[in-house]
Amino acid sequence: MAELSSLLDRVRESRGALDLGSWEFEVLFGPDGWPEGFERSSDDESHRMIENFMVDANRAVAELCGHSSLPVLYRVHGEPDRDSAVRLRDDLENLGLSLPKGRVPGARDLSRILESARTSPAYPLAREAVLRSLKKAVYSPVDSGHFGLGLGNYMHFTSPIRRYPDLVVHQVLGHLEAAGSVPAGGVWDTDIRELAENCSGTEQASETAERECLEMMSLLYLSRRKGGEYPGVVSGVEDFGVFVRLTDLPVDGLAPARLHYGSGPYTDALSPGRPVVVEIHSVDPDLRQLTLRIVGKGAARGV
């Protein structure tokens, strides 16, 4: 299985698939139900193996459904447009990274730029900029291909117990196996285009809820740790202060100019992508506000 996964890795790389890696956090709760820590989701060889097999299973079933003209939901991902490419190029240049000019970058270009920044403190910001430049992957009754994976045929098939679009595919295939054919309108009473829109909308709502929950858990965690120091990276610079993305927590905060450290202009050397150490000045979970004070550059002395 490891050898097969390695082969699929090479195939994936050869077709120029975009590799964003894993950058998700899991919340660790204490006995009192309060968040007591965060850790990154595992991105080891075993998880990569499962991912490779799932992607290839999804691809194979999508090819079968397309060849048989079955009324199912595909997972599609369009190419970035030129305006998005221009914004991405500017964002990456602010982080000291560059993209090929004169054309819209392909998935292979984006993978290379991310790989070159993998060990940089600015990597999370570069990854986020790439994600913002991409069109949103959605569900569709038309199999128009998946830009990020570099595939002409793709769908979600492998998780019918947790994703409804996968269950739809299983229902159609089950009907095909039992009856030998599938009605053009599908095996349910809902229009398939409306079904695709509903599934895409619910997915977006769930992602928003998850992101807001992680932010809230981070703020609750930090509300008990005022004065603690944490590593971060500058994500934006304004006249009124500096925005900082914490390295080990899924949250951003503002370091106001009034709390600046040292002497000289506040924004000296504080460009996006710059690693800093911040102190937790104040936290308001209800207002979703995190106020920081930049205390230096380099490693934090303690949390």
Stretch among 63-67, 102-106, 165-169, 285-289 having the lowest mean pLDDT: 102-106
Q: Domain residues for 237?
A: 227-296
Task: Copy the structure tokens of residue 127.
Answer: 């990854």
245 vs 103: which has the higher pLDDT = 245
**Amino acid letter, 4:** L
Q: Do 251 and 156 belong together in one domain? A: no
Does 303 score more than 50 pLDDT? no
Rounded Cα–Cα distance for residues 167 and 162 (Å)? 8
Please tell me the pTM assigned to this model: 0.85
Answer with the one of 220, 253, 269 that is the final residue of a domain. 220
Q: Do 69 and 161 belong together in one domain? A: yes
- Residue 302 forms part of a structural domain: no
- Residue 72 forms part of a structural domain: yes
Rounded Cα–Cα distance for residues 223 and 217 (Å)? 10
Q: What is the pLDDT of residues 18-36, one digit of tens each?
A: 887 777 899 999 999 999 9
User: pLDDT band at residue 266, thresholds of 50, 70 and 90?
Assistant: low
Q: Do 104 and 143 belong together in one domain? A: no
Q: What is the pLDDT of residues 181-215, one digit of tens each?
A: 887 666 777 789 999 999 999 999 999 999 999 99
- Residue 39 forms part of a structural domain: yes
**Which is it for the CA torsion 196, 199, 201, 204, positive or negative?**
negative
Q: Do 212 and 235 belong together in one domain? A: no
Q: Do 197 and 53 belong together in one domain? A: yes
Does 261 score more than 60 pLDDT? no
Q: What is the pLDDT of residues 206-247, one digit of tens each?
A: 999 999 999 999 999 999 999 999 999 999 888 889 999 999
Q: Do 157 and 278 belong together in one domain? A: no
Q: Do 189 and 43 belong together in one domain? A: yes
Does 140 score more than 80 pLDDT? yes
- Residue 303 forms part of a structural domain: no
Report the percent of the chain where pLDDT is more than 70.
93
Task: Copy the structure tokens of residue 185.
Answer: 């309108």
Q: Do 207 and 151 belong together in one domain? A: yes
Task: Copy the structure tokens of residue 39.
Answer: 């850790």
Nearest to 74 by CA among 182, 184, 181, 199: 199
- Residue 301 forms part of a structural domain: no
CB 43 within 8 A of CB 27: no
Answer with the one of 197, 220, 243 that is the final residue of a domain. 220
The SS3 assignment for 142 reads: coil
Q: Do 249 and 276 belong together in one domain? A: yes
Q: Do 39 and 54 belong together in one domain? A: yes
Q: How many domains does the chain have?
A: 3
Does 298 score more than 70 pLDDT? no
CATH of the domain at 237: 2.40.50.140
Q: Do 72 and 175 belong together in one domain? A: yes
- Residue 259 forms part of a structural domain: yes
Q: What is the pLDDT of residues 32-52, one digit of tens each?
A: 999 999 998 877 889 899 999
Answer with the one of 185, 220, 255 that is the final residue of a domain. 220
Task: Copy the structure tokens of residue 213.
Answer: 């929950």
Rounded Cα–Cα distance for residues 296 and 274 (Å)? 11
Q: Would you state the pLDDT for residue 61?
A: 97
Q: Do 62 and 127 belong together in one domain? A: no
User: Backbone dihedral region of 114: left (phi > 0), alpha (psi from -120 to 50 degrees) or beta?
Assistant: alpha
Does 262 score more than 70 pLDDT? no
